[in-house]
Amino acid sequence: MLRPKLEVADIFRDHGPAWRAANAGHVSLDQLKVMSAIERCRTVALGGHVERCEKCSHTIIAYNSCRNRHCPKCQSAAAREWLAEREAELLPVPYFHVVFTLPAAIADIAYQNKDVIYGLLFKASSETMLRIAADPKHLGARIGILSILHTWGSALTHHPHVHMIVPGGGFSLDGKSWVSCRPLFLLAVEVLSALFRGLFLDKLRAAHRARSPLTWRRCGTQSGWSTASTPSVARRRCCAISPATPTASPSPIDA
């Protein structure tokens, strides 16, 4: 495979030192380690080995890879294998793309409590889909879901949201037949939004009570650290859900 003209590693090597200096104190140690691994990947810094043809003595030097899970070069083969495995699981039915999004008030808390809030986002969104789909008033079926977490938006700002690929139907509640959704319609977004909002806030309050108080700092302000007790704005506008839109292709790569 030919090397692309520009790689993430090239950008990190050229501009990484200046960016790290400008953002000192705002980048975690884990993030710095990822940048360092990508910059050093398949370079002399990690060592390597020499391959030589016994007949013509043609020599190739192959440098070692970093094997970091965030490295686009190291994970490209694994990504292709993962996509092939997921595509093999697809059913011959229509699929829908659903997105569950957290607002800025919750995103601020998530930025400082990633493991907790991201976990709640997965749990509340999946529970919402499974519960409404199983309701005979809506679909009356046990559906399957593929969920993927995105923590940044297209504007490269912190914007936690979950993308779901959902088949247009599921097994009947007794497990004896397949129940299809209506053409071009999966579930009512208003119903999903109401349940998701309630579930997420309930889980957020429970997490706040069960742990030492969740802490957060308003991004872009000087308010400092304070206790997160479910801000009032979060109660008014907790979550957003995009309409369940049919996908042209159910391939996970299109999500």
Nearest Cα to Cα of residue 117 among 33, 46, 204, 39 = 204
Q: How, if at all, do strands 95-101 and 240-241 pair? A: antiparallel
> Tell me, what's the pLDDT at 188?
92
Query: Are 249 and 142 part of one and the same domain?
Result: yes
- The model's pLDDT over 58-82, given as tens digits with 9 standing for 90+, comes to 998 888 889 888 888 888 888 888 8
Query: 19 and 98: one domain?
Result: no
Judge if 117 and 240 occupy the same domain.
yes
Is 59 found in the same domain as 104? no
173 and 138 Cβ atoms separated by less than 8 Å: no
Query: Rounded to whole angstroms, how far apart are CA atoms 159 and 111?
Result: 9
236 assigned to some structural domain:
yes
pLDDT, tens digit, for every residue of 122-142? 999 999 999 999 999 999 999
Q: Exposure pattern of 208-239 as b/e (b: 16+ CB <10 Å)?
A: beeeeebebeeeeeeeeeeebebeeebeeebb
Domain count, the chain: 2
Q: What pLDDT sits at residue 254?
A: 43
**85 within some domain:** yes
pLDDT reading at 156 higher than 60: yes
Same domain, 165 and 46: no
**Where residue 207 falls among pLDDT bands split at 50, 70, 90?**
confident
User: Which residues neighbour 34 within 8 Å (Cβ) at sequence distance 6 or greater?
Assistant: 68, 70, 71
DSSP string, 71-133: -TTTTHHHHHHHHHHHHHT--SS-EEEEEEE--HHHHHHHHHSHHHHHHHHHHHHHHHHHHHH
How crowded is the C-beta side of 110, counted as CA atoms within 13 Å?
A: 24
Q: Does residue 128 form part of some domain?
A: yes
93 and 158 share a domain? yes
For residue 73, being part of any structural domain is answered with: no
Supply the range of the domain harboring residue 21.
Answer: 8-63
Residue 70 lies in a domain: no
- pTM for this entry: 0.71
Torsion sign over Cα 25, 226, 235, 195: positive
Interatomic CA distance for residues 159 and 221, integer angstroms: 18
Same domain, 101 and 164: yes
Same domain membership, residue 160 and residue 84: yes
| Confidence band of 4 (pLDDT split at 50, 70, 90) | confident
Check whether residue 33 and residue 93 sit in a common domain: no
Assigned token pair, 6: 């520009």
Considering the domain architecture, whether residues 40 and 109 belong to the same structural domain is answered as no
Q: Which of 126-130, 158-162, 182-186, 228-232 is least confident?
A: 228-232
Report residue 24 CA to chain centroid gap. Answer: 26
**Residue 71, in any domain of the structure:** no
Decide if pLDDT at 37 tops 60: yes
Q: Which of 55-64, 139-148, 213-222 has the lowest mean pLDDT?
A: 213-222
In this prediction, residue 195 carries a pLDDT of 95
Is position 242 within any domain? yes
Same-domain check for residues 143 and 209: yes
Residues 121 and 181 in one domain: yes
pLDDT at 158: 86
Q: What are phi and psi of 209, to 5 degrees?
A: -75, -35
Amino acid at position 239, single letter = C
Residue with tokens 């400092």: 224
Strand partners, 216: 226
